[in-house]
Amino acid sequence: MEELFNKLLQVNVRCKDCDERKANIRVAIELQLTTSPVHKKDLLVRLTDDADPYFLFRLSISEEDFQSLKVQQGLLIDFSSFPQKFIDLLNLCMSEQESDSPRFLLQLLCQAPALDSSATFSVVETNAFKHLNHLSLRLLQGTDKEIKDYLVVCLSSLKGEKQTLEIKLKKTEDDLSRQLSYTQQ
């Protein structure tokens, strides 16, 4: 597994029957290598919300999936250049997210949960004339197992961060008491 991108991005989230809201969504892009039964690369796109551990939407794109996506959305690039192009678009959205009228923005349109557990994630450019859809990906809501596995990774990295903090705190306290005893001499 190779992580290509992992950033907190502002996304306009719209659910059926709900007002649009701006949310900080973590967008991760990973390249997954499988060697068995055949050697292949899949691109994994994952949207999570640091504030809501139950929020997880994902999509795995194989080289074959990409061919349909390419035809369907009129893309002019091949599978190997797709990840970088997608990341460029995400960075473009990020660079504009502080602006009052961003030219590029990210949208997540969720289906009504009763109907379907999918959501459409889009990179949209707004010019004076219209909204231009640069890319639209249909993500599926994570299953209990996928959310569980994701939470295990979060828990383990959080444990590591906590341990680092404990070590730093111990060191700072030692420094403090050393300085204090030095002063009192």
Site string for a second copy, 113-142 (x = CB under 8 A): ------------------------------
Instruction: Tell the smallest beta-carbon distance from residue 111 to a second copy (Å).
Output: 21
Residue 8 found at the interface with a second copy (CB under 8 A): no
What is the Cα Rg of the chain in Å? 21
Interface characters, 49-68, with a second copy (x: CB under 8 A):
----xx--------------
DSSP 38: S
C-alpha 41/C-alpha 63 separation (Å) is: 7
Contact 81, 73 (CB under 8 A): no
CA gap 56, 23 in Å, rounded: 14
Query: Does 169 sit near a second copy (CB under 8 A)?
Result: yes
| SS3 of residue 103 by DSSP | coil
Q: Is 152 in the site for a second copy (CB under 8 A)?
A: yes
120 within 8 A of 108, measured Cβ to Cβ: yes
Nearer to a second copy, 75 or 147 (CB): 147
76 binds a second copy (CB under 8 A): no
If one asks whether residue 159 binds a second copy (CB under 8 A), the answer comes out as yes
In this structure, are residues 10 and 22 in contact, taking their beta carbons and an 8 Å threshold? yes
Shortest CB 53 distance to a second copy, Å: 5
User: Which tokens go with 152?
Assistant: 């295990």
Q: What is the closest distance, in whole angstroms, from the C-beta atom of residue 157 to a second copy in the complex? A: 10
Asked whether 104 and 96 are in contact (CB, 8 A), the reply is: yes
Q: Site residues (CB under 8 A) for a second copy?
A: 53-54, 143-145, 147-148, 151-152, 154-156, 158-159, 161-162, 165-166, 168-169, 172-173, 175-176, 179-180, 182-183
